[in-house]
Amino acid sequence: MLRFFVRALGLFALAAAFASAVRDGAYSIANNNLRWEPLGTTLARLAPAKMEQLPAAAAKIHPKLWDPVLIDVLWAPTSVALAVIGIALMALASLGRGRRR
């Protein structure tokens, strides 16, 4: 049951990555300019209040977590970040496949 849930989340993340890539591609074609929307911009549009709280929450965990780590992650394209999450979840769901009979 857990494997099904993780696999479903992985497929959803991959579908969202594809939709984000199509959106960025359509915008790039329409404006005749290459554009990849960063993950931080997407998250700020979806949950602006949580994005304002993110630096303080990251500083509570570790002081250097926000500046060198999370800022670089938030500059990654949304489609790439979602694809990496989706592939990781799909790989995680298929780890124990050989043990069951």
49-67, pLDDT tens digit by residue? 999 999 999 989 988 888 8
Overall size of the chain counted in residues: 101
- The C-alpha atoms of residue 80 and residue 17 are separated, in whole angstroms, by 7
Question: Contact at 8 Å (CB) between 77 and 16?
Answer: no
Whether pLDDT at 42 is above 80? yes
DSSP 41-73: HHHHHH-HHHHHHHHHHHHHH-TTIIIIIIHHH
Question: Contact at 8 Å (CB) between 39 and 77?
Answer: yes
Kindly state the average pLDDT of the residues 37-43: 94
Q: How far is CA 4 from CA 70, 81, 87, 94, in A?
A: 30, 22, 15, 10
Please state the pTM of the whole predicted model: 0.84
Mean pLDDT (the chain) is 91
**What residue type is 94 in one-letter code?**
S
* Every domain of the chain and the residues it spans: 1-36+78-101, 38-76
